[in-house]
Amino acid sequence: MERLGLYTPGMHSGEVFDLFRQCGALLEGHFVLSSGLHTSGYLQCARVLQYPKHAAIVGAALAQRLIDYKPAVVLSPALGGLIIGHEVARACGVRALFAERKERELVLRRGFSVEPGERVLVVEDVITTGGSTRETMEVAQQAGGEVIAVAAIINRGGADISFGVPFRVLADVSWPTHEPADCPLCLQGIPVSKPGSR
């Protein structure tokens, strides 16, 4: 792991990574991320969030950094953002919605709706390239909502990632990522796994 950062008062990045280690959620090997990039490290948030007590703690810590934005609703992409989005919404005292894929496109289903002008907070588990986050923002905007901030447990996309709104995380981590054609782990013949939700 090359870089760890501190972002959230109340739960610092060291505590976040201690929790991931405790849950066996900090993995090393050869992985394909949801973005298609390859990497040697992976944080499996689902292993932490499977414990309601941990999910509540992480959600409350993230909500602490977001409550001043006065969200009216939290919107997350399924599947990865669903649990943490729910916990952040619980801590903020607002509704929790999720967008899911229908024919490869993120949409609102199940009777979910965003009111015109409603203040939407987009919450993810891990952000790498921000692709699904931007898709989720578009879902909110197409429904007439106003995206006021983006949040995640982990930012592995680096300091340059931007969404045009405030971006808050609990911890920052950087493992090198590679296009499949240039992946040194592939060249070494190390078996690859795809632990993500896509």
Pairwise CA distance, residues 134 & 95, whole Å: 20
Which backbone phi and psi does 55 adopt, to 5 degrees? -60, -40
Instruction: Average the pLDDT over 78-92 and give the result.
Output: 95
pLDDT score of 196: 65
Instruction: Average the pLDDT over 109-117 and give the result.
Output: 93
Contact 30, 40 (CB under 8 A): yes
Q: Which CATH architecture has domain 4-187?
A: 3-Layer(aba) Sandwich (3.40)
Domains in the chain: boundaries: 4-187
pLDDT score of 41: 86
pLDDT score of 173: 87
If you average pLDDT over every residue of the chain, what do you get?
A: 89
Pairwise CA distance, residues 9 & 11, whole Å: 6
Contact 35, 58 (CB under 8 A): no
pLDDT score of 8: 39
How many beta carbons lie within 10 A of that of residue 4, not counting itself? 14
